[in-house]
Chain A
Amino acid sequence: QVHLVQSGAEVKEPGSSVKLSCKSSGGAFNSLAFSWVRQAPGQGLEWMGGIIPMLGTTSYTQNFQGTVNITADESTSTTYMELSGLRAEDTAIYYCVYDNSGYLKSWGQGSLVTVSS
Protein backbone atom coordinates (compact mmCIF):
# COMPACT_ATOMS: atom_id res chain seq x y z
CA GLN A 1 0.00 0.00 0.00
CA VAL A 2 1.52 3.29 -1.10
CA HIS A 3 1.58 5.87 1.70
CA LEU A 4 2.21 9.55 1.00
CA VAL A 5 3.32 12.16 3.53
CA GLN A 6 3.31 15.78 2.44
CA SER A 7 5.13 18.83 3.76
CA GLY A 8 3.46 21.28 6.08
CA ALA A 9 1.37 24.41 5.64
CA GLU A 10 2.89 27.47 3.98
CA VAL A 11 2.05 31.16 4.01
CA LYS A 12 3.36 33.04 1.01
CA GLU A 13 3.21 36.55 -0.33
CA PRO A 14 1.69 37.30 -3.72
CA GLY A 15 4.19 36.92 -6.54
CA SER A 16 6.37 34.46 -4.66
CA SER A 17 6.81 30.71 -5.20
CA VAL A 18 6.13 27.66 -3.09
CA LYS A 19 7.65 24.21 -3.31
CA LEU A 20 5.79 21.32 -1.68
CA SER A 21 7.17 17.86 -1.07
CA CYS A 22 5.56 14.43 -0.94
CA LYS A 23 7.44 11.42 0.41
CA SER A 24 6.30 7.99 -0.73
CA SER A 25 6.63 4.66 1.07
CA GLY A 26 5.25 1.18 0.57
CA GLY A 27 5.85 0.89 -3.13
CA ALA A 28 8.64 0.81 -5.70
CA PHE A 29 8.93 4.56 -6.21
CA ASN A 30 10.38 4.40 -9.67
CA SER A 31 7.52 2.25 -10.94
CA LEU A 32 4.84 4.64 -9.71
CA ALA A 33 3.19 7.73 -11.13
CA PHE A 34 2.07 10.73 -9.13
CA SER A 35 -0.42 13.52 -9.64
CA TRP A 36 -1.02 16.81 -7.87
CA VAL A 37 -4.57 17.94 -7.24
CA ARG A 38 -5.66 21.17 -5.63
CA GLN A 39 -8.79 22.18 -3.78
CA ALA A 40 -9.60 25.81 -3.09
CA PRO A 41 -11.57 26.52 0.12
CA GLY A 42 -15.09 25.13 -0.20
CA GLN A 43 -14.50 24.17 -3.80
CA GLY A 44 -14.04 21.03 -5.87
CA LEU A 45 -11.01 19.13 -7.09
CA GLU A 46 -8.68 20.33 -9.85
CA TRP A 47 -5.96 18.18 -11.40
CA MET A 48 -2.79 20.19 -11.90
CA GLY A 49 -0.42 17.72 -13.46
CA GLY A 50 1.58 14.57 -12.94
CA ILE A 51 4.91 12.83 -13.23
CA ILE A 52 6.16 9.35 -14.08
CA PRO A 53 9.59 9.24 -12.41
CA MET A 54 10.77 6.15 -14.31
CA LEU A 55 10.22 7.88 -17.64
CA GLY A 56 11.06 11.36 -16.41
CA THR A 57 7.92 12.63 -18.09
CA THR A 58 5.53 15.26 -16.84
CA SER A 59 2.11 16.43 -17.93
CA TYR A 60 0.36 19.62 -16.90
CA THR A 61 -3.09 21.00 -17.39
CA GLN A 62 -3.16 24.12 -19.54
CA ASN A 63 -4.22 26.28 -16.60
CA PHE A 64 -0.88 25.64 -14.95
CA GLN A 65 1.45 25.51 -17.94
CA GLY A 66 4.42 27.70 -17.21
CA THR A 67 3.64 28.17 -13.53
CA VAL A 68 3.90 24.63 -12.18
CA ASN A 69 6.93 22.39 -12.14
CA ILE A 70 6.65 18.81 -10.88
CA THR A 71 9.83 16.88 -10.18
CA ALA A 72 10.89 13.66 -8.49
CA ASP A 73 13.93 12.49 -6.52
CA GLU A 74 14.30 8.73 -6.68
CA SER A 75 17.00 8.69 -4.02
CA THR A 76 14.52 9.94 -1.41
CA SER A 77 11.27 8.62 -2.95
CA THR A 78 9.98 12.18 -2.96
CA THR A 79 8.03 14.18 -5.48
CA TYR A 80 7.89 17.97 -5.50
CA MET A 81 5.46 20.53 -6.85
CA GLU A 82 6.61 24.10 -7.29
CA LEU A 83 4.07 26.81 -8.07
CA SER A 84 5.32 30.24 -9.04
CA GLY A 85 3.72 33.65 -9.43
CA LEU A 86 1.39 33.02 -6.52
CA ARG A 87 -1.89 34.90 -6.35
CA ALA A 88 -4.58 35.00 -3.70
CA GLU A 89 -6.62 32.58 -5.85
CA ASP A 90 -3.88 29.97 -5.37
CA THR A 91 -4.86 29.67 -1.71
CA ALA A 92 -5.84 26.02 -1.49
CA ILE A 93 -5.04 22.58 -0.19
CA TYR A 94 -2.63 20.79 -2.52
CA TYR A 95 -2.75 17.01 -2.60
CA CYS A 96 -0.11 14.61 -3.81
CA VAL A 97 -1.67 11.40 -5.13
CA TYR A 98 -0.49 7.99 -6.29
CA ASP A 99 -1.78 7.78 -9.82
CA ASN A 100 -2.56 4.20 -10.82
CA SER A 101 -3.08 4.39 -14.57
CA GLY A 102 -5.29 7.41 -14.10
CA TYR A 103 -7.40 6.61 -11.11
CA LEU A 104 -6.07 8.27 -7.98
CA LYS A 105 -5.44 5.42 -5.60
CA SER A 106 -3.77 6.90 -2.52
CA TRP A 107 -3.84 10.52 -1.35
CA GLY A 108 -1.46 12.44 0.84
CA GLN A 109 -2.87 14.37 3.77
CA GLY A 110 -2.72 17.65 1.87
CA SER A 111 -0.64 20.81 2.22
CA LEU A 112 -2.41 24.10 2.85
CA VAL A 113 -0.94 27.05 0.98
CA THR A 114 -2.18 30.49 1.97
CA VAL A 115 -1.29 33.42 -0.26
CA SER A 116 -1.60 36.70 1.56
CA SER A 117 0.23 39.97 1.91
Chain B
Amino acid sequence: DIVMTQSPDSLAVSLGERATINCKSSQTILFDSNDKNYLAWYQQKPGQPPKLLIYWASTRDSGVPDRFSGSGSGTDFTLTISSLQGEDVAVYYCQQYYNTPYTFGQGTKLEIK
Protein backbone atom coordinates (compact mmCIF):
# COMPACT_ATOMS: atom_id res chain seq x y z
CA ASP B 1 0.00 0.00 0.00
CA ILE B 2 1.13 3.55 -0.65
CA VAL B 3 1.76 5.40 2.60
CA MET B 4 0.86 9.08 2.69
CA THR B 5 2.57 11.25 5.30
CA GLN B 6 1.50 14.81 6.01
CA SER B 7 3.40 17.53 7.80
CA PRO B 8 2.91 19.21 10.11
CA ASP B 9 0.27 17.42 12.20
CA SER B 10 -1.06 20.80 13.32
CA LEU B 11 -0.54 24.36 12.26
CA ALA B 12 -1.55 27.76 13.64
CA VAL B 13 -1.55 30.69 11.23
CA SER B 14 -2.67 34.30 11.62
CA LEU B 15 -5.65 35.55 9.64
CA GLY B 16 -4.56 36.82 6.24
CA GLU B 17 -1.30 34.90 6.35
CA ARG B 18 -0.22 31.94 4.21
CA ALA B 19 -0.73 28.37 5.35
CA THR B 20 1.24 25.51 3.83
CA ILE B 21 0.61 21.80 4.33
CA ASN B 22 2.88 19.12 2.92
CA CYS B 23 2.11 15.58 1.82
CA LYS B 24 4.61 12.91 0.85
CA SER B 25 3.86 9.56 -0.76
CA SER B 26 5.96 6.43 -0.22
CA GLN B 27 6.19 5.92 -3.99
CA THR B 28 5.52 8.01 -7.04
CA ILE B 29 1.90 8.77 -7.81
CA LEU B 30 2.70 10.35 -11.15
CA PHE B 31 1.36 8.25 -14.00
CA ASP B 32 3.81 8.63 -16.88
CA SER B 33 1.38 7.88 -19.69
CA ASN B 34 -0.85 10.87 -18.96
CA ASP B 35 1.53 12.99 -16.87
CA LYS B 36 -1.02 13.24 -14.07
CA ASN B 37 -0.43 13.09 -10.34
CA TYR B 38 -3.11 11.00 -8.65
CA LEU B 39 -3.46 13.17 -5.58
CA ALA B 40 -6.43 14.92 -3.97
CA TRP B 41 -6.87 17.27 -1.02
CA TYR B 42 -9.89 17.42 1.28
CA GLN B 43 -11.09 19.80 3.95
CA GLN B 44 -13.09 18.54 6.92
CA LYS B 45 -14.78 20.87 9.35
CA PRO B 46 -16.06 19.60 12.72
CA GLY B 47 -19.23 17.56 12.44
CA GLN B 48 -19.16 17.58 8.64
CA PRO B 49 -18.08 15.09 5.98
CA PRO B 50 -14.88 15.88 4.10
CA LYS B 51 -15.10 18.17 1.11
CA LEU B 52 -13.02 17.80 -2.03
CA LEU B 53 -10.79 20.82 -2.61
CA ILE B 54 -8.22 19.76 -5.21
CA TYR B 55 -7.68 16.80 -7.51
CA TRP B 56 -4.97 15.84 -10.00
CA ALA B 57 -2.71 17.57 -7.45
CA SER B 58 -3.52 21.08 -8.67
CA THR B 59 -7.06 21.29 -10.10
CA ARG B 60 -9.50 23.11 -7.84
CA ASP B 61 -12.94 21.59 -7.55
CA SER B 62 -15.86 23.77 -8.61
CA GLY B 63 -16.69 26.48 -6.09
CA VAL B 64 -13.41 26.21 -4.19
CA PRO B 65 -11.97 29.68 -3.54
CA ASP B 66 -8.83 30.51 -5.47
CA ARG B 67 -6.88 31.13 -2.27
CA PHE B 68 -6.55 27.32 -2.19
CA SER B 69 -3.89 25.90 -4.47
CA GLY B 70 -2.13 22.59 -4.88
CA SER B 71 1.32 21.89 -6.25
CA GLY B 72 3.96 19.20 -6.47
CA SER B 73 4.70 16.09 -8.47
CA GLY B 74 5.95 12.57 -8.06
CA THR B 75 6.10 12.04 -4.31
CA ASP B 76 6.01 15.54 -2.79
CA PHE B 77 2.95 17.75 -2.72
CA THR B 78 1.78 20.95 -1.09
CA LEU B 79 -1.55 22.55 -0.29
CA THR B 80 -1.32 26.31 0.10
CA ILE B 81 -3.92 28.71 1.45
CA SER B 82 -2.68 32.08 0.31
CA SER B 83 -4.56 34.25 2.81
CA LEU B 84 -6.12 32.41 5.71
CA GLN B 85 -9.76 33.13 6.48
CA GLY B 86 -11.64 32.19 9.62
CA GLU B 87 -13.75 29.64 7.77
CA ASP B 88 -10.61 27.74 6.75
CA VAL B 89 -10.20 26.29 10.24
CA ALA B 90 -10.44 22.56 9.59
CA VAL B 91 -8.52 19.33 9.24
CA TYR B 92 -6.95 18.81 5.83
CA TYR B 93 -6.22 15.42 4.29
CA CYS B 94 -4.32 14.35 1.21
CA GLN B 95 -5.26 11.14 -0.61
CA GLN B 96 -3.63 9.11 -3.35
CA TYR B 97 -5.72 7.37 -5.97
CA TYR B 98 -2.86 6.04 -8.05
CA ASN B 99 -3.88 2.55 -7.04
CA THR B 100 -6.13 0.75 -4.62
CA PRO B 101 -6.39 0.74 -1.75
CA TYR B 102 -6.75 4.49 -1.80
CA THR B 103 -4.85 5.86 1.16
CA PHE B 104 -5.01 9.11 3.10
CA GLY B 105 -2.54 11.15 5.03
CA GLN B 106 -3.09 11.32 8.78
CA GLY B 107 -4.51 14.83 8.56
CA THR B 108 -3.29 18.32 9.44
CA LYS B 109 -5.27 20.43 11.88
CA LEU B 110 -5.28 24.10 10.89
CA GLU B 111 -6.09 26.72 13.51
CA ILE B 112 -5.99 30.48 13.83
CA LYS B 113 -3.02 31.96 15.71
Interface residues of A, Cβ cutoff 8 Å to B: 35, 44-47, 49-50, 59, 61-62, 95, 100-110
Contacts and interface: CB of A to CB of B under 8 A. Distances in A.
B61 A47 contact: no
Contact of A107 (B38, B49, B55, B107): B49
From B1, B93, B95, B101, residue with most partner A Cβ within 10 Å: B101
Contact of B50 (A59, A102, A107): A107
B107 A102 contact: no
Q: Is the interface of A mostly helix, strand, loop or mixed?
A: strand
Interface residues of B, number: 23
B73 interface: no
B93 A35 contact: no
A49 to B, nearest CB: 8
B38 A102 contact: yes
Interface string B35-50: 0001010100000011
